[in-house]
Structure 1
C-alpha cells in the first residue's frame, strides 16, 4: 500500500532527486532491519525435530533437515546460468546477492570498488551510509521497492516485526498519532505520515507539552468546588 506521504510521483525535481525524503527514510529503516531479520532466519534454519547429524532412514517423504526456503535466502548467488528444467529452479534471489547487486551499482557510480565487499550486515550498512546519494539515482525507486519487498517477506517467515511505541506529544497536525518504531531513524505520525528526527521530536515536545499539561490541569479542575466551598 503506497505511503500517503510519498512524493515520488513529483520526482525527479530540480536537484535530480528520484526518491522522496519519506521513502528515503523507509529505505534506511529497511537496511537497518535486514541484519536483525537475518539473525532470526539463521535461528529458524533447522526446524524443530529435524535431525542435526547423521542421515535420514525413513521411508517415503521425509522432512529435510533444514528449511529450504530459508537456506535459499541465506545462500550464495549462482555466478553461472543453470541449464536445468525451469521447474527445478527457485526464483528466490538470496539476500546477499540482492544487497550485492545494489552495492555494485553504488560502487560503479561512486567509483569505489571496495563498496561491494562484505557480509549481509556490512553491505546493508554500506548502502545505508549512501542513501542520500542513492536517492538521486534513477534506480533509487527500484532499490527501495525490492528491499521493502524483501523485508516484508522475511517478516512473514520470522514473524518478527518492529515494536512500536506511542509518543506522548501530538503531531503538528493535531493528532496523537506519533509512534517510535524499532530500527527506525524517524518518528512517524500515523495520521498525516509526517516524519520527525529524534531531535526534531524532542524540540517539538518541549514546545507543546507544557501547554498540554496546563490544558489537562484545567480540565481536571473544571467544575470542582472552590476551596471556600462555594460553587
Structure 2
C-alpha cells in the first residue's frame, strides 16, 4: 500500500509518517509567519519621481498578495471564469474550513443525562483559544493523525503546502538545512542533511533518504570507525606540533 500523497510505501502504517510530520511542521510554522506577514501590511511609499512610468493609476500601498493571505474569504476557491483572480484561499478561512470539515466527519461521543453514550456528528468546529491562525493550527494539530488517514488527505496536504509556500515567498523565509555527521550509506558522500519540517534525513548528492531511526542506527555503526581513523591521522600531527 502506498501513501496517496507522496506515493511512498506505508509498511502497514495507517498514515504516511513523512507526510504527517510535514503537515504538523506546517501547522507549527504558519503562526510564526503571520507576524512577518503583518509587518508587510504597513503602507510603503517611495520618493517622488518625475517622468512617466507607464502606470495609469496609483500603486497599491500594500502588497495585495499579503491581503490575500491575511484577509477574510471563503474556505474554497471562487469560480474565476475570466482568470482575473490571482490569490489563493486566505489562511484563516483555509484552516477553519478544514477544521469544520473534520469536525462534521469525525465521530463525536456524548452522554445524555441518563448516562447513555451517543455517537453524533458535530455541526461545526470550535476552538477555546479563539479564531485566529494560531488557534486553528492548534486545533488541527490534534486531528492530523486522523486526517492523514482519510481519502481527502492529499487535498488538505496540497492546500496547506500552497499556503506555506505563499507565506514563505512573501516573507523571505528559508527552510533551515542541518548537515549530519555520518556519510550517506548509499554513495558514501558527506551530504546527509536534516531539513526543518521533513521526516527523512536526505542525501543531497544521490537523493537517498533515511528515517530518523535509520540514521541513528547508521551513525552509531559507522562513526566510531571514522572517528578512530581521524584520530589516527591527527595525533601524529599534534605530537609533531
Cα distance, 1:88 vs structure 2: 6.4
Displacement over 6 Å in runs of 4+: 81-85
Asked whether 1:102 is paired with 2:118, we answer no
Cα distance, 1:102 vs structure 2: 1.4
Counterpart in the other structure of 2:88: 92
Give secondary structure in 1 for the equivalent of 2:193: strand
User: TM-score, normalized by length of structure 1?
Assistant: 0.69
**Runs of 5+ in structure 1 lacking a partner?**
1-5, 51-59
Corresponding residue to 2:69 among 61, 69, 73: 73
Cα distance, 1:150 vs structure 2: 1.8
Cα distance, 1:127 vs structure 2: 1.8
Cα distance, 1:95 vs structure 2: 1.0
| Structure with a larger share of its residues in helix | 1
Q: Deviations over 1:86-130 (max 9, x none)?
A: 566555211111111211222123245574543111212222222
Q: Is the 8 A contact 1:187 1:196 kept in 2?
A: yes
Summarize the Cα distance change of 1:151–1:212 in structure 2 as closer, same or farther, 3 Å threshold: same
- What's the Cα RMSD here? 3.8
Corresponding residue to 2:164 among 144, 151, 159: 151
CA distance in 2, matches of 1:168, 1:64: 49
Counterpart in the other structure of 1:176: 190
Report the count of equivalent residues: 206
Counterpart in the other structure of 2:114: none
Summarize the Cα distance change of 1:120–1:136 in structure 2 as closer, same or farther, 3 Å threshold: same
Counterpart in the other structure of 1:42: 38
User: TM-score, normalized by length of structure 2?
Assistant: 0.67
